[in-house]
Structure 1
Amino acid sequence: MTAVTISANTVTRSVAVWTPSIHAFLNHLSAQAFEGAPNVVSLSHGCEVLSLVEGQTYNYPLVGEIASDQVLQSAARLQRRLHDASMSFIHQFAVSDMPWMLESDLPWEVMCHGDFAPYNVALTEGAVAGVFDFDTLHPGTRVWDLAYSVYCWAPFKTNKVDRLGSLTQQALRAKSYCDAYELDTAGRLQLVDMMVRRLQYLVDFMRSSADAGNEDMQRCIAEGHVHSYLEDINYLIDRKQVITTALCE
C-alpha cells in the first residue's frame, strides 16, 4: 500500500514507526547468512533502502508457475527456515518493547512474517527464492503465521478471482504446504480454527484502522475486501472437518 521505487538492485520505501524493529530483524537474518530476505542498505530522510529480492513476482489469480505444487512446497520450506532462524531473535531482543504493526496474544515462538503469501515472494528456476514486504512482522506462534500462509496458498478463498480449484484440490494443496513445512499433527488439528481466528483479526484490524482515518484501509473496505474475508471465514467453518481430515491423512 506504500509507494515503492526500484532502482538497480535496491528498493526505496517510506518508513513507519515499526521500521527500525524490522531492520533489527533483517540485520539479524543477515548476520546468520540467511538467504531469501532483503538486506538493509540505509535509513534516512524518512525513507528506507533495501536490497531487491530478485525473481518473478505474481498476484492473484494464481496462474502458471506460481500455482505449481513445486513452488508451493518451496514456499513452505522457506517459511520454515525463516521461523527457525527467528527463534534466536526472540531470545536476544526485547520484542515486547519494540513497535510492530500487528500484535498477537499467543506465546512467542518465532517472528511471524504476517503476510507470507504468493504476492510477497519471488521465484527463480521454479522455486521461491525469497520473501519481501516485512511490514507485518511480529512475534507469535508458528501456527498463527502458517494459518494465513496456508489460507493464501491453498487458497481457501471464495472470491471468483482469488479462488483456485475445488475444495478437494485446496485441501490437498494445504496438506502439501504443511508436509513441506513439517508441521506436526497438533498444529494441523488447530490450523482451520487458527485460520478463522487470523482472518477475523484481519477484519477487525482493517475496520479499526479505517475508523482511525487510514484512507488505504477505507479504500480496501469500500472495494469489498472485508466482505470477502467474512465469506472466507464462513467457508472455512463450514468445511473444517473435510479440510482437517485431509491435513492429517
Structure 2
Amino acid sequence: MPGEEVLAGGGVNHVVRVGDTVRRPAGPWTPAVHGLLRHLAGRGFTGAPRSHGIDGQGREVLDFVPGETADYPLPAWVRTDEVLVAVARLLREYHDATVGLSREGDWYFPPVEPYEVICHADVAPYNCVFREGRPVAFIDFDTAHPGPRVWDVAYAAYRFVPLHDPSDGDGIPVAEQARRLRLFADAYELGEAARQALAKTAIKRLEHLVGFMRERAAAGDAAFTDHVARGDDRFYEMNVEHLRRHESALITC
C-alpha cells in the first residue's frame, strides 16, 4: 500500500510502518495485549510501544519505536556484559509494572502458574530496541500471558547469554555461560528458588516452543512450516540437550 514501509524481521507476521505507527495483524489476543500496553503507559513504563486501537483494515496500530534490533549471529555489541545487565534491569522494570494487572482475557498462550506478572514471552534481541547500543524498549507483545517471573527470565537469558550449545555459531563455553547467567540473575535481582530453576525452566520453555512450532506447522501455518523446514525445531532440541547436560553448572546460587 502507498505510504507503507514493510519492516524486516518478525518471521511470523507481516508488519508495516505508516508514519510514526506500526500496523500488525490483530488476533483474539489483541484486546488483552492492548490492555497490557495501556496499563504500562499508565504506570509510566516507557519501554514498550503505546497502542492506538485498530485501523480500517483490521490491523492493530502501535507506536513505531525508533532504534535498531539485532538477530543471530549476535553482533559483538549485543554480547557485552553492559547490555546483558541493562536487558535484565529493563525486564525487571517491565515485570514490576505489570504486578496487579488482571490475568483475565484471551491471551495467545494460556496462563502459567504461579501467576506473578504478565510475561512478555519472547524477550530476545530481535524484540528489543536499542539506541546507541543500549536497550530501551521491548516490542512484539503478541505472545504475552500471565505467568511466573522465572518463565520470562529463563527465556530471556537463553536468548541473551546465550545459553546455546557451544558448537553453534553463537555458542560460548559453559563456564562463560554460567558467569553471564549469574550476572543476568543478579541484575534482575532474581530470588534464590527461581535461580535454582533457571536452566530447568529454559528447558521447559524450549520444549514448549518446539511443540507449538510443530503443531502450527502441522495445521498448515506457512510461517511455522518454514521454521520447521529450516530446522529451527531441531536447533532448539540441540540446545535442550545442552541445557540438560550442564544444568548443575548453570545453577546461579
**Alignment TM-score, normalising by the size of structure 2:** 0.90
Query: What's the RMSD between the two structures over aligned residues?
Result: 1.5
Change (3 A) 1:201 1:104: farther
Q: Corresponding residue for 1:136?
A: 143
Q: Does the 8 Å CA contact 1:154/1:170 hold for their aligned counterparts?
A: yes
Change (3 A) 1:160 1:5: farther
User: 1:48 aligns to what SS in structure 2?
Assistant: strand
Q: Does the 8 Å CA contact 2:88/2:188 hold for their aligned counterparts?
A: yes
1:20 equivalenced with 2:27 (yes/no)? no
User: 1:88 aligns to what SS in structure 2?
Assistant: coil
User: 1:108 aligns to what SS in structure 2?
Assistant: coil
Q: Corresponding residue for 1:50?
A: 62
1:86 equivalenced with 2:98 (yes/no)? yes
Change (3 A) 1:162 1:83: farther
User: 1:188 aligns to what SS in structure 2?
Assistant: helix
Q: Does the 8 Å CA contact 1:53/1:131 hold for their aligned counterparts?
A: no
User: 2:137 aligns to what SS in structure 1?
Assistant: strand
1:224 equivalenced with 2:198 (yes/no)? no
Q: How far, CA to CA, are the matches of 2:228 and 2:245 in structure 1?
A: 24
Q: How far, CA to CA, are the matches of 2:129 and 2:215 in structure 1?
A: 31
Change (3 A) 1:161 1:38: farther
1:62 equivalenced with 2:43 (yes/no)? no
Q: How far, CA to CA, are the matches of 1:68 and 1:172 in structure 2?
A: 12
Deviates more, 1:9-18 or 1:20-29: 9-18
Q: Corresponding residue for 1:167?
A: 174
- 1:88-103 paired onto structure 2 within 5 Å: 88-89=100-101, 93=102, 95-96=103-104, 98-103=105-110
Paired amino acid for 1:195: A
Paired amino acid for 1:139: P
Q: Corresponding residue for 1:37?
A: 48
Q: Does the 8 Å CA contact 2:164/2:172 hold for their aligned counterparts?
A: no
Q: Corresponding residue for 1:151?
A: 158
Task: Deviation per CA, 1:39-95: give whole Å up to 9, x if none.
Answer: 012313311111012212111111132111111111100100111110121xxx3x2
Match of 1:204 among 207, 211, 214: 211
Q: Corresponding residue for 2:120?
A: 113
Q: Does the 8 Å CA contact 2:114/2:148 hold for their aligned counterparts?
A: yes
1:3 equivalenced with 2:14 (yes/no)? yes
Change (3 A) 1:20 1:7: same
Structure 1 unmatched runs, 5+: none
Match of 1:194 among 198, 201, 219: 201
Q: Does the 8 Å CA contact 1:14/1:46 hold for their aligned counterparts?
A: yes
Equivalent residue pairs, number: 241
Structure 2 unmatched runs, 5+: 1-11
User: 1:100 aligns to what SS in structure 2?
Assistant: coil
1:73 equivalenced with 2:80 (yes/no)? no
**Alignment TM-score, normalising by the size of structure 1:** 0.92
Q: Does the 8 Å CA contact 2:206/2:240 hold for their aligned counterparts?
A: yes
Q: Does the 8 Å CA contact 2:166/2:172 hold for their aligned counterparts?
A: no
